[in-house]
Amino acid sequence: MTTTPRGIRNCNPLNIRRSAAKWKGLCAQQNDASFCQFESMEWGWRAAFWLLTRVYYHTYRLFTIRKIITKWAPPIENHTAAYIQRVSQLSGIGPDEPIGIPSDRPARWISVARAMAIQENGTAQIDDFAMLKGFDLCRQDAK
């Protein structure tokens, strides 16, 4: 019997932890004690891209896969080195290679986020349409 990964069930492809943040598209009823639940995968992707590009890149100044993953999936709760290696391999971007400015290199950020979702959920069955819609929602909000 195969179960749907938690991040897919929650429409939260990068498994964003619950916090005081009032994300757009959050389900009114949050039944998962640890992770956010979104109304649709597009809203989960929007939150993921907001965190990666607006918070991790622009606020924390994390420019590489290694720096992003070390913060996103710290060694205290993950096998961070393996996570970094997998995202680097799947995205085709070296772990210490600058990803680029999100507005200038959107395809690279989409590639990194997709690789993170594969790592987080243990499946390569990612809804690319929802992912791109989420990216567009994030980009619209950033203007």
Which residue type is seen at 139?
A: R
Q: Report if residue 27 sits inside a domain.
A: yes
Compute the distance between CA of residue 134 and CA of residue 46 in angstroms, rounded to an integer: 4
In which domain, by residue range, is 134 found? Answer: 6-142
Q: What backbone torsions phi and psi does residue 96 show, to the nearest 5 degrees?
A: -110, 10
Q: Report if residue 129 sits inside a domain.
A: yes
**Confidence (pTM):** 0.95
Q: What backbone torsions phi and psi does residue 134 show, to the nearest 5 degrees?
A: -60, -40
Q: Report if residue 1 sits inside a domain.
A: no
Burial (CB count <10 Å: 0-12, 13-18, 19+), residue 138 = buried
User: In the chain, how many domains are there?
Assistant: 1
Span 30-77, pLDDT tens digits: 999 999 999 999 999 999 999 999 999 999 999 999 999 999 999 888
Q: Is the pLDDT of residue 87 over 80?
A: yes
DSSP 8-state code for residue 80: H
Span 91-141, pLDDT tens digits: 999 999 999 999 999 999 999 999 999 999 998 889 999 999 999 999 998
Q: Report if residue 54 sits inside a domain.
A: yes
Q: What is the pLDDT of residue 125?
A: 87
Compute the distance between CA of residue 66 and CA of residue 81 in angstroms, rounded to an integer: 8
Which uninterrupted H or E stretch holds 68? Answer: helix 65-72
